[in-house]
Amino acid sequence: MPKMTPSEAFVETMVANEVDTIFGIMGSAFMDAMDIFKPAGINLIPVVHEQGAAHMADGYSRVSGRHGVVIGQNGPGISNCVTAVAAAYWAHSPVVMITPESGTLGMGLGGFQEANQLPMFQEHTKYQGHVNHPARMAEFTGRCFDRAMSEMGPTQLNIPRDYFYGEINVDIPQPHRLDRGPGGTNSLDEAADLIANAKFPVIISGGGVVMGDAVNECIRLAERLGAPVVNSYLHNDSFPASHTQWCGPLGYQGSKAAMKLIAKADVVIALGTRLGPFGTLPQHDMDYWPSDAKIIQIDADNKMLGLVKNITVGICGDAGAAADALSERLEGRTLTCDATKDSRAQTMADEKAAWEKELDEWIHETDPYSLEMVEENAITFKFPHPRQVLRELEKAMPEDVMVSTDIGNINSVANSYLRFEKPRSFFAAMSWGNCGYAFPTIIGAKKAAPERPAISYAGDGAWAMSMVETMTCVRHDIPVTAVVFHNKHWGAEKKNQVDFYDRRFVAAELTDQDFSAIAKSMGAEAITVTKLEEVGPALKKAIDMQMNHKKTCIVEIYCTRELGDPFRKDALSKPVRYLEKYKDYI
């Protein structure tokens, strides 16, 4: 076994895992290893804030399917990453969070930047490797990289800073990757029989189809059945939008066509989706989930089978291999639904056309508060309506685009207007739902796929949380396009104050900052948009800057202050007060 230092063992194990990019901010805790990143072929991209680094690692791995790697200084550098690692967890991204820790000889004495770093990430990682002896550096490093892939989520590699030093004899472990299969024969046979007897089967194409590169297999199964395919919540890139059987996304601000069609299902094939609770809640005042339907759920993680929804058959398998195994079992068989293929195709086309028409006509929100905002705007600024802006952006999207969206009212409404032709194109904060997600994530995505146009969406509140990473784009030549919806309030949460708290606005207003000027001062380009007809040309110009001149451009779009349906209608209720002091607050 060759002699080396633990730093060398750590770096060589990353090399064995083909790591060439790490996001983070330097620190003394890992400087001995950092010193040899360059000769190892590893580029450490210094960011502005470590949360941005972990989001970048998430975006990087969501586009490429490779590991996203983050590193920071022990204590505060590491705690800055927690929010973003949680987002990566819910996106199932193979992010490896490297957390150098205080030295073993001082731990527990309350020294500088000392923290117990494993509990911080306990809930947001699939595996935590703690290097408990310098001789085991390569072993734990390798295991963190293996488990991030096999467990489909972030892992943490915790390294006491004194363990980078010394002399060890070690063989660098080679990566182990799982060879996944279609799932058990019995469950596949049972599922095929259910499908064969289904009258109105519907497929939900989920994140597993994206991550498993299984779109073609999903198409094959869908075409054999002539079944509608709906995207699971925020996985709008899991089926090509141009396909006649694509019916749009379920969930918050999703497609009414998708919801109406799945409501008719007698058999649902949930392919690569955990059927997360938020993603199947009633929307548009429709309780569309087909409670009497038989559900076939396919997930690579057995723990997701039947967790949220009652299922009839659970298949623990790879989305692509399972879809193919089902298609093979259906080959040459006459299916009950064959007889109605044409009429079902017509139903699908009709529902899709009705939803498109509704979207085209749905220019602005029509609740009393929004109407007041619209009226006020008509005599003051004359800014465009968010829905119209989103439609114009949709029309101006370049081919092969990657889009990330933030958390906010306009970003959520965007769900209806974001359609994709290929997987690994749409990145949202998933179930974690943190503001400040979209911009750093698209920077990581762009780093992994520089040949693809990259666009982030954010509201003015969320933008301000994350805009400092504009400097990362400028400093390190990672050109992206950032769309900022400027409506001068924390709209999404304010909507709850409109609906439930009698418009008693607390902490909801944002005063008007000049985000274009701020962006320019960070070295980026900026376009300010105040009229609808400027939206499309502004996006196109910004994409031209990104693709042909390697320039980051912020497209700041002023919008009316109207607000679409709120996020958590399901979880809020009208206030009740018992104390005299608060009696009017109902």
Ligand X SMILES: Cc1ncc(C[n+]2csc(CCOP(=O)(O)OP(=O)(O)O)c2C)c(N)n1
Positions that interact with ligand X (CB under 6 A): 407-410, 433-436, 459-462, 485, 487, 489-493
Q: What percent of the chain is helix, strand and coil (3-state, nearest 5)?
A: 45, 15, 40
CB nearer to ligand X: pick between 269 and 435? 435
In whole angstroms, the minimum distance from the beta carbon of 535 to Mg ion comes to 17
Gap between the Cα atoms of 192 and 356, Å rounded:
33
Phi-psi region of 275 (alpha: psi -120 to 50; beta: other; left: phi over 0): left
In whole angstroms, the minimum distance from the beta carbon of 151 to ligand X comes to 26
Q: Which of ligand X, Mg ion, none lies near 410, with the C-beta cut-off 5 to 8 A by kind? A: ligand X
Among residues 27, 77, 491, 536, which is the contact residue for Mg ion, using CB under 5 A?
Answer: 491
Count of residues making up the chain: 586
DSSP 393: H
Question: 9 to each of 407, 489, 584, how far by Cα in Å?
Answer: 40, 50, 66
In whole angstroms, the minimum distance from the beta carbon of 49 to ligand X comes to 13
The tokens for 7 are 């730093």
Site for Mg ion in 444-483 (CB under 5 A): 459-461
Gap between the Cα atoms of 289 and 465, Å rounded:
36
The tokens for 139 are 């072993």
CB nearer to Mg ion: pick between 324 and 365? 365
In whole angstroms, the minimum distance from the beta carbon of 72 to ligand X comes to 19
CB nearer to Mg ion: pick between 14 and 492? 492
Gap between the Cα atoms of 361 and 501, Å rounded:
30
Among residues 74, 102, 404, 487, which is the contact residue for Mg ion, using CB under 5 A?
Answer: 487
Q: Which of ligand X, Mg ion, none lies near 492, with the C-beta cut-off 5 to 8 A by kind? A: ligand X
Q: Which of Mg ion, ligand X, none lies near 37, with the C-beta cut-off 5 to 8 A by kind? A: none
In whole angstroms, the minimum distance from the beta carbon of 374 to ligand X comes to 16
Q: Which residue is nearest to ligand X (CB)?
A: 459
Q: Which of Mg ion, ligand X, none lies near 525, with the C-beta cut-off 5 to 8 A by kind? A: none
Q: Which of ligand X, Mg ion, none lies near 219, with the C-beta cut-off 5 to 8 A by kind? A: none
Dihedrals phi, psi of 475, to nearest 5 degrees: -65, -35
The residue ranges of DSSP E strands in 35-150, in sequence order, are 43-46, 68-71, 95-101, 127-130
Binding status of residue 384 toward Mg ion by CB under 5 A: no
CB nearer to Mg ion: pick between 392 and 556? 556
In whole angstroms, the minimum distance from the beta carbon of 102 to ligand X comes to 28
Gap between the Cα atoms of 123 and 251, Å rounded:
25
CB nearer to ligand X: pick between 12 and 469? 469
In whole angstroms, the minimum distance from the beta carbon of 543 to Mg ion comes to 23
CB nearer to ligand X: pick between 17 and 434? 434
In whole angstroms, the minimum distance from the beta carbon of 473 to Mg ion comes to 22
Single-letter residue type at 242:
S
Gap between the Cα atoms of 85 and 227, Å rounded:
36
Size of the site for Mg ion (CB under 5 A): 5
Q: Which of Mg ion, ligand X, none lies near 558, with the C-beta cut-off 5 to 8 A by kind? A: none
CB nearer to Mg ion: pick between 206 and 386? 386
Gap between the Cα atoms of 517 and 519, Å rounded:
5
Query: What is residue 459's three-state secondary structure?
Result: strand
**Sheet containing strand 246-249, strands side by side:** 246-249, 229-231, 201-205, 267-271, 294-299, 313-316
CB nearer to Mg ion: pick between 257 and 492? 492
Which residues of this protein are in contact with Mg ion, per CB under 5 A? 459-461, 487, 491
